[in-house]
Every structure is written in structure tokens, then in C-alpha cells.
Structure 1
């Protein structure tokens, strides 16, 4: 029987044609898509008013026929939902929330509430499964197939990464994190991110100049968000613009210096074409040039 998922619009408004293409892409993988009608009721740049998006989230969790709740995109607005979420309702109908980027804030709170969460591609990216470029289709197909496997239950994952400078050859801890700018935006609020002890913190971003990335990381470092982190693991920083020839990794290493925390890079995670999924909060092991997450 095909796996069924619920679509939700939690953040920014999305072009209807992009949503339709994403649905067709998922259906090409034999996924049954439950899409509310209407999916969006645009308010400014948001997919809907705050209560509209909350109602959609709660309704998706109440659907007895779906195995996951999948965000159509990121953007902005997910943090607005936090103080209105009925956690008891979600825990009565536990299933993974899937998404990334702006959805990072929700994924981390799902982890804190011991609800399943998958940092993975958003629904609109599934439209790439129907594009002509065979190489792009293969990359996108892999990430969506891996996401569907994780929806089905815990599975071992192996993602490549490599050290930047001196770093332990073996390191273990829970895998957390997500979008850098989103995490930094929560500093000083009740939703503020704090890495758990020994955590392997994944960071990625898109379209930001290096100075804004440095500023956001400085905020996390000096706000104490990363005090307990065991390592920082960099995903992709798609379309992020340099000021000079200084590599982003060097800027990040300098900013992290007060913490004396090891830095790794090269994870295929983020806004690039290759956005491999991972379970937020899963036990992780860095060894042999890989980030290994237990099944």
C-alpha cells in the first residue's frame, strides 16, 4: 500500500504551480498526498494567518491515514506557531514532521518534545523529479527515497564530511541544528536554541553574504547556544557571497575559537541540489570521513 503523507503550509506562501509540481513528483514515487483545500490563504508573504497555519498543522496530525506531515517550503513564519501548538494533540498522533530551512525551529522543538522530526527536502523540491536533467533527477530522487525510508522508521544513514583543521577522528553525540540564520533569530526568546551536551550541530544556509553568516554565528557563540556542543558540522551554503578570498570555513573556525570546538565540513545537507535527510536528535558518530546515524 502506498505511503500517505499530509501537506502543510507552515511558513511563506508558495506558488501554486510549484506545489502542484511537487505533488506530482511525490506521486511519481508512489506516495499518496493528502492536501487540504485550500492549502494556502496568503497573508502578506505568509501561507496564511497564524491561526490558519496552526489549524492546518493540528488537522494534519489528526489525519489517521497519513504517516508524516510534510512542509511544502520554508521561508518565514514557522516560529510564530510555537506558542500555539497543542503538544498533547501531536503526541496523541505521533508522526514525523519533515522539512528544513525556516522549519528548523519546529524540528528542534519536536526533538525537545520527543516527537519524530526529519530535516529533509520540502515538498516543492520534489518537482525536480520531473525535470529533464538526469543527474539532477538522480540526486533529488535519492534524497526523497531516503526521506521516505526514514518516515517508515529509523534507518542507518551515512553522510560524507571531513575535518577543517585539527579534529578528532571519532566523535559521538546527538545530531541537531539546521538553518544558521533561523537558529540565530531565536536568540533571546523562549524558543532559543541550545545544543544538548556533546551534540553534533549541523549548520547550513542560503543566499547570505559571509558577514551576515559570521554575525549570526557570533550571536549563537556568545549567547551560549553552542556551549555544550561536541562539534560543528557544516552543510552547504548555497549562493552565499564572499567578501574576499577568505573561505567561509576559516571565518567560522575563527568565530568558534572561544569554544574550542572541532569543525567539520562537506555535509550534503542544505539548499543545494543534494539535500540528504537526517533524523533530528538521532545518535550520531563521526568516523572514517562519515557522519553515521544509527538506525
Structure 2
């Protein structure tokens, strides 16, 4: 039987043609895409009302014939859902939630409630399997195939990255994190992100000037979110605009200095072409210029 997934729209509205292309891309990989209709009933910039999105999320987990719940996109809106989620209901049929960006909120909450979560490409990105160049399609295909493998069980993966300055030869801990500005927006709320002890925190972002990234990271550092972390790993910062010639890595290192956290960069995770998946909360190991994740 083919792998079946439930499609949800927990955040911003997505153009119907982008949704359709994403579904066709997933089907080309042999995935059966299911979901409650209508997927979207636009309200402002949101995919639908909070009530509609909550009902859709619960229905996706209720479906006994799907093996994962896949967000069509991020944007904004996921945090609105958290206090309305019936976690006991979701736990009756635990299955991984897949997404990134704004969906970071839900990934972190799933992990806190003992449910599986995958930080990986959103469903609409599968449209690139049909429309992009041969080289880009190969990259996208690999990422989706890795994601499908993670849905079906533990699948160890490793990722290149580079230490920025002095760093221990080996670090090991749970891998958490996600979109920097999304995590910063949660500081001071009941859903605030806090890295577990010894965590390897992945951060990525898109379209933000460097001063906003610095401000967001300052919030996390001084809000206590990273106090118990063991390291920070930077993914891609697609379309983020610098100020002068100071590299982002230097700004991040300076902001992290009060915590003395080692910094790594170059992880192929984020809003650009390269967005390899990883299991949220899985054990990771930093060693020899690689991040190894158990799966």
C-alpha cells in the first residue's frame, strides 16, 4: 500500500495552484494525499479561521489511514492553535507532523507532548519536483525521499557544517529549534521555546535584515531560551540582508557570547533550495565537521 498523508493548512493562505502542484509532486513520489475539504477558507492572510484550522488538525490525526500530517506551508498562524489542541486526542494515533518556518511552533509543542515531529520541507515545495531544473529537482527529490523515509521509521542522516571559532571536538544532545524569528516571537508566552539541557539548537530564517535577526536572537538569549543549550547550528538565511561587511556568523557569535555557546554554520536546512529534514528532538552528534542525527 502507498504511504498516505493528511494535508493541513495551519498557518497562512497558499495559492490553490501551489497547493495543487505540491499534491502532484507528492503523488509523483507514490504518496497518497488526503485531507478534509475545504483545505482553506481564507480569512485575512490566514488559510482559514482558527476554528477551521483546529478542526482540520484534529481530523488529520483522527484519520486511521494516514501515516503523517503534512503542513502545506508556514507563514503565520500556527501559534494561534496551540491552546486549542486536544493533545490526548492527537496521542490516540501518534504520527509525525511535518513542516518548518511558522510550523516550528507546532513541531516544538508536539515534541513536548511526546508526539513525533519532522522539521522538513512543506508540502507545497513538492511542486518543485515537476517544475524546476534537473539539478534542482534532484536536490528536492533527495529531501523529500529522506522525509518519506523518516515518516516510516528511524533513518540516520548526516549533514555538513563548519565550526565558527573554537568548539569541542564532539558534542551530543537533542536536536531542536527551527525558525529564529518564530521562536523569538514566543518569548514571554505560555508556548515559549526553551532548549533542553545539552541541546543542539538549529536556527534558520528568510528575508530578514541582519538587525532583526540580531534582535530576535537577543530575545532568545536574554529570555533564557538557550541557557541550557550546548551549541547553536546555523542553517540558511535566504534573502537576509547584511549591514556593511559584518558577516551574520560574527553577529551571532557576539550575541551568544554571554552564554559561551559554540557556534556552527553551513547546515543545509532552511528556506532555500537546500532544506534537508531532521527528526525534532532526536539525538544529534557534532563531530568532524558533520552533524549526525540518529533519525
TM-score by length of 1: 0.99
2:233 and 2:267 in contact (8 A); partners too = yes
Separation of aligned partners in 1, 2:262 and 2:272: 24
Give the equivalent residue in structure 1 for 2:30. Answer: 30
Give the equivalent residue in structure 2 for 1:99. Answer: 99
| 1:132 shift after superposition | 4.3
Separation of aligned partners in 2, 1:122 and 1:132: 16
Separation of aligned partners in 1, 2:126 and 2:161: 25
- Which contiguous aligned blocks of 4+ residues in structure 1 show a shift greater than 4 angstroms? none
Give the equivalent residue in structure 2 for 1:276. Answer: 276
DSSP 3-state at the match of 1:5: strand
Separation of aligned partners in 1, 2:35 and 2:126: 15
Moved more, 173-182 or 152-161: 152-161
Give the equivalent residue in structure 1 for 2:13. Answer: 13
Give the equivalent residue in structure 2 for 1:54. Answer: 54
DSSP 3-state at the match of 2:171: strand
Matches within 5 A, 1:32-181: 32-181=32-181
| 1:35 shift after superposition | 2.8
DSSP 3-state at the match of 2:60: helix
Separation of aligned partners in 1, 2:193 and 2:43: 27
2:11 and 2:73 in contact (8 A); partners too = yes
Aligned length: 295
Structure 2 spans left out of the alignment, 5+ residues: none
2:139 and 2:273 in contact (8 A); partners too = yes
Matched, 1:222 2:222: yes
2:167 and 2:263 in contact (8 A); partners too = yes
Give the equivalent residue in structure 1 for 2:201. Answer: 201
Structure 1 spans left out of the alignment, 5+ residues: none
